[in-house]
Structure 1
Amino acid sequence: MTKSQKKGFLLPPAVGYSLNVLLYLFGHYKISLKFLIRAILTVLINIINWPFRSYEKIFINKKYSRAAIKNAPVFIIGHWRSGTTHLHNILSQDPQMSYTTTYQSVFPDTLFNKAGRFIFEGFARILIPGTRMGDNVILGTSLPQEEEFALGDKTPLSFYYFWMFPRSLKFFYEQFIRFKGIDQSRVESWERDYKLLISKALKNTGGTRFLSKNPPNTARIEKLLEMFPEARFIHIHRNPVEVYLSTRNFFFKMLPHLQLQTIGQEELDDFIFELYKDLMNDYLKQRELIPEKQLVEIAFETLETDPKACIRDLYQSLDLPGYKESEPHFDVYLDRIKSYKKNKHQITAKLIKKIQAEWGFAMMEWGYGIPKHIEVKEDDQK
């Protein structure tokens, strides 16, 4: 069995959270009986991890919380399944780029505690599957990951709580992406946590500029510009029909491994439609806040067709240094992933009409029609 074929076992990211945050979540959101064993196992691992992360918080984090973030971060934004992971993996080949690793995203405060890291990263290597459920992306503890998993580890404020409690997805969006009804002191605590996470990522992966890939940030532009006025943004978009099919497949395959709460298929489908509308509308409203030469919009189709030209243009448009030095690294990576195969999808004519009605504004904004390569079935076909 190759590494990519390795079966694995996933647990909710709360295994590495502050115990106070874990108790807050378990006290405020209902855990379904069928996931009780998973919840108990999450608590047990969290308690075992407690002394290691406590040591890091007390003796190590202060150093990084005081560290200046000298270079403006680069934020890759866009809806899930729009090519954000693909772009993140390419750009992370640039030696100047630092990123949150999969291990750091789950155990953000057991990163520089040597004994704790030896234990928990060792277990993580054994448990993590070779590829991600829902697509064929290779997984590994040291590979780039979304920082949203770790952003709620100390301050109870992370949209990715929805992986554990999916019935609260809409509530989490309003509270943790739009920051509605959130006390300012909590938001400021979240900002400090974010900067600490970035400082530790810079040290952990050895680069000089933080590279973020975090879809929830697509609707947090105003807040991110307050934190990092010179930040660069790369928005990647994809045909909404493909995004819907891929998102639905991804969510339905990932949720069974992370959720602590049941949710009906119809309710999750409704959330998927709402989430895309909210995220894209919020992005379009905030896009104009980004100063000139700090935003590039690219199409997934362009990145897929000619990745090197796309990356070269991206560096030039954002006035980012280092393309020539990084070009050999990009070449090696792009050659290595040539055999990657995407999932194939079918769709009904009825669903096509719903996507056009709900997400037509985005199809019009970026000039998308019905993809020719997707098989459209008649509504009465099984």
Structure 2
Amino acid sequence: MTVKASAAATVHTAHQDLTKPWMPKLWHGMDFFAWWRLLRKNHFAVEWRRAHTAVAVTGFSVANTSLRWLQELCYGRRVRATEIQDPIFIIGHYRTGTTLLHELIALDERLTFPTTYECFSPNHFLLTEAFVSRFFGFLLPAKRLQDNMHQGWGRPQEDESALLNRGAATPYARCAFPNHAPPYPGAEDLRTLPREQREQWMQVLEQFLRQVTYLRPRPIVVKSPLHTCRVPTLLEMFPRARFLYTVREPQAVFSSTCKLWRVIYENQGFQKPNYVG
């Protein structure tokens, strides 16, 4: 009983932290063009109670775009000359232990990984990561709401957030407006995406991994449940890539996944989810 009460108190505290106005959302790392496309695809349907967040994201998006141009000026040539070493992809359904495995493998100093800051700020982390990680750690809740795992700017993170913030096609875009149809049908496995969107997705991922490799020239361990659907595309990009596939008892996965998406929709969306459709 004491353990359950303690866990409930931790979740309640994490929820309070996540809803504080200064806590970053998934969208704060977007450049202006990605943010504008997301709003336009959803007909600017921001509910009034989240309007302040939308205004803040708009301001950040302008800054992110300016910093991206500056980063390209400072590092672009060196990043383009960087070779990506054969990556390792951790795949598997949500809530099967991919995050825990990512955290454990990241302890191997022969490897590297995208950090939370790099995934949330893919437009300019080469310029800003050292400063923000050192002085603004308080902006993140100490633990993730959905599972109480520790988090921080320097901890491993899934690269799907980087793809989102760079404007690539990803199912995560629906989290902003959960009552609308997915803005990128086919973004799970990429096979039915329009050719232009698929090529952009590949370019964004490759550039992001080059930037991480430039910063830490070691093989990258990448984790994203959605990459489970994209193995053919990933092998097309990285023929020597390796994959680690996680599994878990199905009933536990189902209930845990439902909780995950409820938490994301309710805390990240610009409209109150109605869970219809």
TM-score range relative to shorter protein? 0.7 to 0.9
Deviation of the 1:254 alpha carbon? 3.2
- Deviation per CA, 1:133-191, whole angstroms, max 9, x where unpaired? 1111001000000000011333441222122222346554x331233553323322221
Kept after mapping to 2: 8 A contact 1:12/1:164: no
Code of the residue aligned with 1:77 in structure 2: it is: I
**Residue 190 (structure 2) aligned to one of 179, 197, 207:** 179
Kept after mapping to 1: 8 A contact 2:179/2:273: yes
Alignment partner, residue 70 of structure 2: 55
Kept after mapping to 2: 8 A contact 1:95/1:207: no
Alignment partner, residue 149 of structure 2: 137
* Larger RCO: 1 or 2 (CA < 8 Å, sep 6+): 2
Alignment partner, residue 107 of structure 1: 121
SS in structure 2 at match of 1:146: coil
Normalising to structure 2: TM-score of the pair? 0.84
Alignment of structure 1 residues 138-217 onto 2, 5 Å: 138-168=150-180, 170=182, 172=184, 174-179=185-190, 182-204=193-215, 206=216, 208-217=218-227
Pair 65,151 (structure 1): closer, same or farther in 2 beyond 3 Å: farther
- Tell which structure's C-alpha radius of gyration is larger: 1
Alignment partner, residue 87 of structure 1: 101
Kept after mapping to 2: 8 A contact 1:163/1:258: yes
Kept after mapping to 2: 8 A contact 1:164/1:260: yes
Task: Say yes or no: does 1:246 pair with 2:256.
Answer: yes
Code of the residue aligned with 2:60 in structure 1: it is: I
Task: Say yes or no: does 1:224 pair with 2:228.
Answer: no
Kept after mapping to 1: 8 A contact 2:169/2:187: yes
Rounded to whole Å, the distance in 1 between the matches of 2:249 and 2:47 is: 35
Kept after mapping to 2: 8 A contact 1:132/1:139: yes
Alignment partner, residue 20 of structure 1: 33
Rounded to whole Å, the distance in 2 between the matches of 1:23 and 1:142 is: 29
Rounded to whole Å, the distance in 1 between the matches of 2:230 and 2:192 is: 15
Alignment of structure 1 residues 198-347 onto 2, 5 Å: 198-204=209-215, 206=216, 208-265=218-275, 267=276
Kept after mapping to 1: 8 A contact 2:175/2:268: yes
SS in structure 2 at match of 1:112: helix
Alignment partner, residue 57 of structure 2: 42
Deviation of the 1:90 alpha carbon? 0.5
Pair 23,123 (structure 1): closer, same or farther in 2 beyond 3 Å: farther
Deviation of the 1:236 alpha carbon? 0.3
Rounded to whole Å, the distance in 2 between the matches of 1:150 and 1:125 is: 19
Code of the residue aligned with 1:212 in structure 2: it is: V
Kept after mapping to 1: 8 A contact 2:30/2:61: yes
In structure 2, stretches of 5+ residues that fail to align are 1-10
Pair 168,207 (structure 1): closer, same or farther in 2 beyond 3 Å: farther
Deviation of the 1:124 alpha carbon? 4.5
Normalising to structure 1: TM-score of the pair? 0.62
Kept after mapping to 1: 8 A contact 2:116/2:153: yes
Kept after mapping to 2: 8 A contact 1:77/1:234: yes
Kept after mapping to 2: 8 A contact 1:75/1:212: yes
Alignment of structure 1 residues 5-16 onto 2, 5 Å: 7=17, 9=20, 10-16=23-29
Rounded to whole Å, the distance in 1 between the matches of 2:150 and 2:209 is: 23
Rounded to whole Å, the distance in 1 between the matches of 2:134 and 2:56 is: 18
Say how many residue pairs are matched.
259
Rounded to whole Å, the distance in 2 between the matches of 1:47 and 1:229 is: 37
SS in structure 1 at match of 2:252: helix
Rounded to whole Å, the distance in 2 between the matches of 1:20 and 1:165 is: 18
Kept after mapping to 2: 8 A contact 1:101/1:142: yes
Deviation of the 1:98 alpha carbon? 1.3
Kept after mapping to 2: 8 A contact 1:11/1:258: no
